[in-house]
Structure 1
Amino acid sequence: MTAGQGPQGWDQPGQDPYGQGAYGQGAYDQGAYGQGPHGQGAHGGYASAPAAPDGFGAPAPVERPSAVVLGVGAFAATLVLGLVNALVTFADVDGFIAQVQAASPDVAISESAARAALVAGAGFALVLVALQVLFLWFAWKGRNWARIVLWVLGGLGVAGSLVGFLGGGAPTVSGLLTVLSLASLLLTVVGIVALAQKPASAWYRYQGWRRAQGR
């Protein structure tokens, strides 16, 4: 794609995407089946409408497609569920620390050390939440690099969740936390799949082309 051409079949705004005006030369100059005996097409001089460019059967997708709305919305929902998960965990700090200590019987973990690690982890999690909000905003505005970042983070999250569920090495959690974790896992998968759909990819390409044109 060059600086003056749209992505995969899009022409510059203001020009006919088929190379000639719909009522100018080319599209209706000759009939779809050649010229009739009076110089007109087989259908009275009106030929079939020209085909859309390959790869896109509709005009440039300026509107945000539903796949992008679903994908970004799903990732935003996982972020909210993560915050709820953290609030539930901090509501019973003593119980969580006891679970961590019970899960590592061979390593003596003092209560003060466990609390300090929990506070440090919470601070780090807040930084990650702020970054995720930033990535979601840029992905919503059509930045393809943000979509890729969400894919990477989502893939790591899915892998970590599967290891936690199948590995059996994590501390026992309450039923509510288990439900929240499963819901977050499913929403992450939905977000990854939705943002990988063809309409979403076409929209991100078009948004990148518009920015390259300064529009």
Structure 2
Amino acid sequence: MSDYPSYPPPPPPEGYGGYGQPARAEPPASISTSFNIILGVLALSALSTVLSFVYLDELVEAANVDTAGIDLDAARSSAMIGAVIGFLVFGALWVLFGVFLRKGANWARIVLSILVALGLVFGLLGLSREQPVVFLLLSLAQLALYAALMYFMWRPESTAYLKGRQA
């Protein structure tokens, strides 16, 4: 036996230590805000989809489409089904890209930027056509959200977070 007192070993370090997974960095506020904006865009899209059912006749009139020889009930049904399916598919993709953005995937920011750029172009073109006032207001709100999304996704702290997650 030794003349020195015996002490228990020190407790293990917190977390994973040097060999496990790295500590998960929380996304900066700009990334969280970007995700919330994506949810806002989806909410406006859902509202637009619902209102397109309510204002379907006005939208057809505003489009100046010749409806002679067209089964209007079948056209309405097809338009409604297409709108719902389109919203569900593209909405799910937007949420998926938003989740990957929050997890630090730079490619998700690039894809979202392309989608936002397309949305801005088509949204601005859509402002020139005749439409009910409620759709004009929704389009303006959506364009503002697109601009805000681009701003927050490309903030310096967002870039630092996404580049840090790639390393």
Tell me the residue number matched to 1:176.
Answer: 134
| Among 81, 89, 99, the residue aligned to 1:127 | 89
For 2:27, what is the secondary structure of its paired residue? coil
CA offset at residue 113 of structure 1? Answer: 4.9
Please list the CA deviations of residues 75-104 of structure 1 after superposition, one character each: whole Å capped at 9, or x if unmatched. 22111111011111112434434444xx12
TM-score computed with the length of structure 1 as normaliser: 0.59
| Runs of 5+ unmatched residues, structure 1 | 1-12, 15-60, 210-215
> Retained in 1: the 8 A contact 2:27–2:103?
no
> Retained in 1: the 8 A contact 2:30–2:152?
yes
1:192 aligns with 2:150: yes
Tell me the residue number matched to 2:31.
Answer: 68
Letter in 2 for 1:91: V
Tell me the residue number matched to 1:104.
Answer: 65
My pick for the range that moved more, 142-151 or 70-79, is 70-79
For 1:184, what is the secondary structure of its paired residue? helix
> Retained in 2: the 8 A contact 1:143–1:208?
yes
> Retained in 2: the 8 A contact 1:151–1:192?
yes
CA offset at residue 163 of structure 1? Answer: 0.9
User: Which of the pair has more CA radius of gyration?
Assistant: 1
Please list the CA deviations of residues 127-160 of structure 1 after superposition, one character each: whole Å capped at 9, or x if unmatched. 1111111111111111111111110101100000
| Among 82, 98, 105, the residue aligned to 1:143 | 105
Gap change, CA 1:93 and 1:156, over 3 Å in 2:
same
For 1:62, what is the secondary structure of its paired residue? coil
CA offset at residue 64 of structure 1? Answer: 1.7
> Retained in 2: the 8 A contact 1:73–1:191?
no
Letter in 1 for 2:163: R
My pick for the range that moved more, 62-71 or 126-135, is 62-71
CA distance in 1, matches of 2:69, 2:145: 35
| Among 49, 52, 75, the residue aligned to 1:89 | 52
Segments ≥4 residues shifted beyond 4 Å = none
For 1:158, what is the secondary structure of its paired residue? helix
Percent of aligned pairs with the same amino acid: 28
My pick for the range that moved more, 150-159 or 130-139, is 130-139
Tell me the residue number matched to 1:115.
Answer: 76
My pick for the range that moved more, 108-117 or 62-71, is 108-117
Larger RCO (alpha carbons 8 Å, 6+ apart):
2
Which has the larger share of helix?
A: 2
CA distance in 2, matches of 1:109, 1:139: 48
CA distance in 2, matches of 1:109, 1:85: 28
For 2:104, what is the secondary structure of its paired residue? coil
